[in-house]
Amino acid sequence: MAGAREAGYWARESTLYWRPHPRLRFMARVLRKLPQRRLLDLGCSGAILRRLLPASFVYFGCDIADEARRCLPDGHFLQCDFNESADLRFFADKQIEVIHIGGLLEYLCRPDRLLDEARKLVAAGAPLVLSIINFESDYYAQPQSHHPKWIYRPGLNALLRILSDTGWRVGRVWPFTEKGRVKQLWLHARTKCLGLHHSSVRCSARQFILLAHAV
């Protein structure tokens, strides 16, 4: 019963993301530049990412709510509460080449478990495109700015460690503002000049987008 209530909650929550937000559009651009085309979207909500990708992508989704089931072919969707199980064997024969995790880890008690299972699913060199809230930013300094379902609240360094521990090597990190194209370009320019770990960059970025590869 508790699982059904959670799924119902997230089905309602997913309606907030039916219109692609800037962060998802940015991640879609990163994915389009990769050669891999068999994509697993973990925490896919209503499979909105699929609309932003070329038809050459073979899209698979997994989420606690079953909204994506309505628009995906048979065998392309698994309903799963990652706080209950991170078992991804459903996709073991799908030849997954690239994984997307957008705005999901914050809601998990054991994000390391999901990252570990995702690593087992792909070959060495497979890319992972991931986003996470920047809990070290000025914007999220106050708990009242947090989503009530957030559980995992790492700093960037802690996230980098957990990725390394679960078999992923991070190659790129983009700070993200969600505040429009001009502010985003300004933040990228400042990051290029001062470096990712400069205090002004850490305080300004509301999120980070990472590109990692399986090792």
128 phi, psi to nearest 5 deg: -125, 125
Q: Domain map of the chain by residue range?
A: 2-214
Cα 78 from Cα 137, distance rounded (Å): 34
Classify domain 2-214 by CATH number: 3.40.50.150
pLDDT tens digit sequence for 144-155? 788 888 999 999
Q: What is the dihedral of CA 111, 93, 126, 198, to 10 degrees?
A: -20
b/e burial code for range 12-30 (CB count within 10 A of at least 16 → b)? eebeebeeeeebbebbbeb
Three-state DSSP class for residue 79: strand
45-81: pLDDT as tens digits: 999 999 999 999 999 999 999 999 999 999 999 999 9
What are the strands of the beta sheet with 38-42, ordered from one edge? 77-79, 58-63, 38-42, 98-102, 127-133, 207-214, 168-176
Whether residue 200 has pLDDT greater than 50: yes
The answer to whether residue 4 scores a pLDDT higher than 80 is: no
Q: What pTM does this model have? A: 0.88
Burial (0-12, 13-18, 19+ Cβ within 10 Å), 192: exposed
Confidence of residue 15 (pLDDT cuts 50, 70, 90): low
- Write the pLDDT tens digit of every residue in 80-129: 999 999 999 999 999 999 999 999 999 999 999 999 999 999 999 999 99
Per-residue burial over 199-212, b if 16 or more Cβ lie within 10 Å, else e, is: eebbebbbbbbbbb
Residue 142: the pLDDT is 79
**Strand 98-102 with 127-133, pairing:** parallel
Note the pLDDT of residue 90: 97
pLDDT of 211 over the 80 cut: yes
| Cα dist from 45 to 5, 83, 144, whole Å | 16, 16, 24
